[in-house]
Chains A and B, each alone.
Chain A
Amino acid sequence: SAVISQKPSRDICQRGTSLTIQCQVDSQVTMMFWYRQQPGQSLTLIATANQGSEATYESGFVIDKFPISRPNLTFSTLTVSNMSPEDSSIYLCSVVGGGTDTQYFGPGTRLTVL
């Protein structure tokens, strides 16, 4: 399976600031997704990152709050904007590619907002 990395692995941020999370894959993939996992909770899809076009957001998530880019088939970024303590979560990218339809997850970015 593809090797997926995320940067940063963790961060502590101040309320009102923004953080951009990067997801890098070592091979071209078909699909890239961004999920949120709140403390002690399950995973919720934020959006599908579409290569070369606007991301597709799930209900409850908006582009102004979570802008996403996917400039090519191996890289995507998620920005968490104007952060509040409620944004404290683990943010995970997942990818599909390599001839299978299995979703593989990156290691996650643990965000704490003070």
Chain B
Amino acid sequence: GENVEQHPSTLSVQEGDSAVIKCTYSDSASNYFPWYKQELGKRPQLIIDIRSNVGEKKDQRIAVTLNKTAKHFSLHITETQPEDSAVYFCAFSDSGGYNKLIFGAGTRLAVHP
């Protein structure tokens, strides 16, 4: 069935370091790959997304790369700050956001001052 594997499950970095989270999906029809950040007790917030016709997208310190051949996509956070500490979820869909999102298991990122 549809699923996405997300690694690592936990990630601890020092402030200023980079963090990389990788997801591998199963459905070749997938065309939309959002990343959500969820702080403790809060709702998931979209931080960046990418579509299958693009290989990379960047927004300030955050970037996402997509390798359709290998069916994986990655989140890159540079110059990490303590406020980046949260759980990050990757997801995918075959119809943009108009269809169900299949979520990864999440990565708990801790950024230490």
Binding site for B on A (CB under 8 A): 30-31, 33, 41-45, 48, 58, 92, 96, 100-108
B79 to chain A, nearest CB (A): 25
- Give Cα A31–Cα B100 distance, bound, in whole angstroms: 10
Cβ contact of A48, chosen from B42, B89, B100, cutoff 8 A = B100
Query: Which residues does chain B contribute within 8 Å of A100, judged by CB atoms?
Result: 97
How close is B37's CB to chain A, nearest CB, in angstroms? 11
Q: In the complex the two chains form, is B100's CB within 8 Å of A42's CB?
A: no
Known A45-B101, A92-B43, A107-B43; judge A101-B106 contact (CB<8 A): no
B98 and A31 within 8 A (CB): yes
Contact B97 A96 (CB under 8 A): yes
Measured in the bound complex, the distance between the Cα atoms of B44 and A11 in whole Å is 20
Q: A96 → chain B, closest Cβ, in Å? A: 5
Given A30-B98, A96-B97, A106-B43, A42-B34 contact (CB < 8 Å): no
| Residue of A with least CB distance to B32 | A101
Tell me which residues across on chain B come within 8 A of A92, comparing CB atoms: 43-44
Complex Cα distance A105/B38, Å? Answer: 11
- Check B89 against A101 for contact (C-beta < 8 Å): no
Beyond A43-B89, A45-B102, 14 additional pairs, beta carbon < 8 A: A31-B97, A41-B106, A42-B103, A43-B44, A45-B100, A45-B101, A48-B100, A58-B100, A92-B43, A96-B98, A101-B97, A102-B97, A103-B34, A103-B97
Q: Which residues of B contact A107 (CB under 8 A)?
A: 42-43
